[in-house]
């Protein structure tokens, strides 16, 4: 399984790098380069111990893969890249995405042995789970993001749930809240 993931990883890097040669727009090229750099960094810094950190890293990899997929689809929609190159990039990305989803299904967070599990103390920070985890990852990706943009991004959840999660994240020290020109912004600490 790991060998398959490495093959998909190298295919994405090669095909997306080739694809970027066709892009004339510096903004689009920059976006693809940044997404590709994030993908490479996350893939090379994987945890291999079945920890929560490994699971979060794998989720971030999947998120970056989806981001690359959206960028590639935008390039094709705008007809900025030749169709064969688009297809090879799309195939590599979708193969890696499927492999990553299957890999995430095998990661067992709850199977940490008791001796490796950190002892709960009163000073230990609360863990991120569910909605809060997703919001925190989004804020880490986009520093200085407006509260309104966060609510819009997570429209699947109620506005009240998102605001409550933001308040708890700020209270627990994961994010920082600040106001500028009557707009509320958040950034990761």
Could you report the per-residue pLDDT of 125-143, keeping only the tens digit for each? 556 677 888 888 888 888 7
The pLDDT value given to residue 122: 47
Angle formed at CA 88 by CA 64 and CA 80, multiple of 5 degrees: 80
Lookup: tokens for 121: 């103390």
Instruction: Answer yes or no: do 141 and 96 share one domain.
Output: no
Instruction: Answer yes or no: do 143 and 64 share one domain.
Output: no
Domain, as residue range, for 72: 2-110
Angle formed at CA 73 by CA 69 and CA 75, multiple of 5 degrees: 120
* CATH code for position 73: 1.20.1440
Distance of CA 33 to the CA centre of its chain: 15
Q: Would you place residue 111 in the very low, low, confident or very high pLDDT band (cuts 50, 70, 90)?
A: very low
Q: Would you place residue 1 in the very low, low, confident or very high pLDDT band (cuts 50, 70, 90)?
A: low
Q: Would you place residue 48 in the very low, low, confident or very high pLDDT band (cuts 50, 70, 90)?
A: low
Q: Does 119 fall in a domain? A: no
Higher pLDDT among residues 104 and 51, named by residue: 104
Average pLDDT of every residue of the chain? 80
Q: Does 124 fall in a domain? A: no
Among the listed ranges 50-54, 60-64, 115-119, which one has the minimum average pLDDT value? 115-119
Instruction: Answer yes or no: do 90 and 176 share one domain.
Output: no
Instruction: Answer yes or no: do 72 and 40 share one domain.
Output: yes
The DSSP 8-state label assigned to residue 182 in this structure reads T
Instruction: Answer yes or no: do 104 and 142 share one domain.
Output: no
Instruction: Answer yes or no: do 41 and 97 share one domain.
Output: yes
Lookup: tokens for 2: 């790991």
* CATH code for position 157: 1.10.10.10
Could you read off the pLDDT of 15-43 as tens digits, one per residue?
888 888 888 888 888 888 888 888 888 88
Instruction: Answer yes or no: do 101 and 140 share one domain.
Output: no
Q: How many separate domains does the chain show?
A: 2
For 150, phi then psi, to 5°, come to: -65, -45
Lookup: tokens for 172: 């627990």
The pLDDT value given to residue 126: 57
Instruction: Answer yes or no: do 20 and 106 share one domain.
Output: yes
The pLDDT value given to residue 31: 84
Tell me the mean pLDDT in the region 32-57. Answer: 78
The pLDDT value given to residue 114: 40
The pLDDT value given to residue 57: 78
Instruction: Answer yes or no: do 18 and 98 share one domain.
Output: yes
Instruction: Answer yes or no: do 137 and 106 share one domain.
Output: no
The pLDDT value given to residue 47: 61
Instruction: Answer yes or no: do 150 and 62 share one domain.
Output: no
Q: Does residue 108 have a pLDDT over 60? A: no
For 156, phi then psi, to 5°, come to: -65, -25
Q: Does 96 fall in a domain? A: yes
Higher pLDDT among residues 121 and 39, named by residue: 39
Instruction: Answer yes or no: do 84 and 145 share one domain.
Output: no
Q: Does 16 fall in a domain? A: yes
């Amino acid at each position: 399984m790991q060998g398959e993931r490495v093959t998909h990883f190298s295919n994405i890097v090669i095909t997306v790098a080739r694809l970027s040669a066709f892009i004339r727009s510096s903004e689009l090229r920059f976006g693809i380069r940044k997404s590709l750099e994030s993908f490479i960094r996350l893939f090379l810094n994987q945890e291999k111990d079945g920890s929560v950190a490994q699971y979060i890293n794998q989720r971030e990899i999947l998120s970056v893969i989806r981001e690359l997929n959206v960028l590639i689809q935008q390039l094709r929609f705008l007809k900025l890249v030749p169709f064969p190159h688009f297809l090879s990039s799309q195939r590599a990305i979708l193969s890696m995405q499927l492999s990553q989803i299957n890999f995430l299904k095998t990661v067992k967070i709850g199977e940490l042995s008791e001796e490796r599990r950190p002892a709960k103390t009163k000073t230990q920070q609360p863990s991120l789970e569910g909605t809060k985890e997703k919001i925190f990852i989004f804020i880490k990706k986009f520093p200085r993001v407006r509260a309104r943009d966060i609510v819009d991004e997570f429209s699947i959840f109620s506005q009240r749930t998102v605001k409550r999660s933001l308040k708890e994240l700020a209270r627990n020290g994961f994010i920082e809240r600040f106001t500028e020109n009557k707009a509320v912004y958040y950034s990761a600490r």
